Structure 1
Amino acid sequence: MDIFTKFNRKSIDDRQIDTLIGLSKGMVADGRINQAEAEALLNWLMQSRQASNNPIILNLLEKVSTMLEDGVLDDEESAELFSILRKVSGDSSEIGEVAKSTSLPINKPDPEIIFVGMSFIFTGTCAYGTRKQCQEAIESLGGINAKSVTKSLNYLVLGTYVTDSWVHENYGRKIEKAMRYRDDGVPLVITTEEHWINSGNLG
């Protein structure tokens, strides 16, 4: 069972998700997301939020709101939003597909995750819920939410929507920094959202 199905089984056929998939297909058709499209998406998400607690809607609303809070969708933000919507525009099994270990620098085999007293930070967009919901889950398990990637960080969790092209995304800087520390011998673990969820019995 892929992670999207696991958390959104009842919502796959939801009209909102169907509409979102349709919107996403239209927006990525020309290969880029412009300012007007992002603003239209934000308006739709704000309206949809009133009748939904679906994490896909909540995540996108949080993400797009942040991108447009300065009133400008810059090239980096446009590229990231395009990447997310391209993923969403696929079928249900693709929406929550966790990028393969061959293209993401995750620790293999999946390491044991210890929560109590350990520090965590998320990057990319998560299927579990909003960034705040993920952080609350960490705290409920006795973990600590870090503010940035440092040598004292224990776990970097890659959201389900981190794509194969992470190097070109703005969240790629966190991943690159964590990789450098890990390569230098720092015991920092890079893992997937799916493994984090399974380890914390959050499903």
Structure 2
Amino acid sequence: MPTKELENYRQFTKPAELHKAVNTLRGLVAGINSDMEVGSSEVTELVHWCELHADLRDRHPFSEILPVVERATEDGVVTEDEAKDILWLCNNFADNNSYYNMITSSIQFLSGMLHGLMADGELSDREILALKSWMDANQFLAGTYPFDEINSLLYVILEDKRITQRERETLMVLFGGVIDFTSSYNLSEKEFSRLREQYSIGGICAVCPEISFEGKTFCFTGEFYRAKRAEIAQLVTQLGGTVRTSVSAKTDYLVVGNAGNPCWAYACYGRKIEQAVSLRKEGAEIVIVNETDFWDTVDDMDITPTIERT
């Protein structure tokens, strides 16, 4: 698109661009300050972010925000108080008036936070725990990409209260799929690609998902312990749901069987999983469900469905 046409187009997208930039900055600052130790590389990352958004300087609220960020970073050190001042200012301009904006704002914040956590190229235990606290406080994002993927991986990693180097790097690979490398000074997509070659993260099941059947569309992958695929499809139909053989943007739940699955409980691999994750990245609200959670929901229901075995 020619430059002039692009500028004409951007006059209509400017509000959304500003909204995203404010929320991303909130997350970036929160992530950088999560371990209460802001190093020179993290300051460099924040300065670089401001430089990339210099074209917004004449627009409210960046006419107020950028000078504060620049003053905080000019001595190469961002104190805890300075970080709090930036967050306070950004929060005053963040629009969370509707449910849609709350979801959008929070996911944009999360993206910025992951960027901030990784700003120095490392991921400490304290930063991981800070992220877990934020995830726990924002459970309303369940079902939204990449909340479920991050939440369930954190659940598994922190279950034994010990974080190994392999687990740390697996998280970094997952974060690398969310971070906007074009706005980073320190982080290289090439380096994350090298890590990606060592760790395969297909899709990750939601932790303790809310599952309903009436009017919902289900798809299944893998083998199941308690029933055959056809029997489960019959059960879902009895409970008011619909079963499809392939994943689409209209799919509500992709249920993953555990029988013969060589992967650990919350990591799921395969073609349908890849399709679901790809669609989730595009905004589809597909919840990837582990077989255990599916049966737990059925068992908790008052109605006992009948399965006709052939």
TM-score scaled by length of structure 1: 0.47
Query: Quick one: higher RCO (CA 8 Å, sep 6+), 1 or 2?
Result: 1
Select the structure that is richer in helix: 2
Larger Rg computed on CA atoms: 2
TM-score scaled by length of structure 2: 0.32
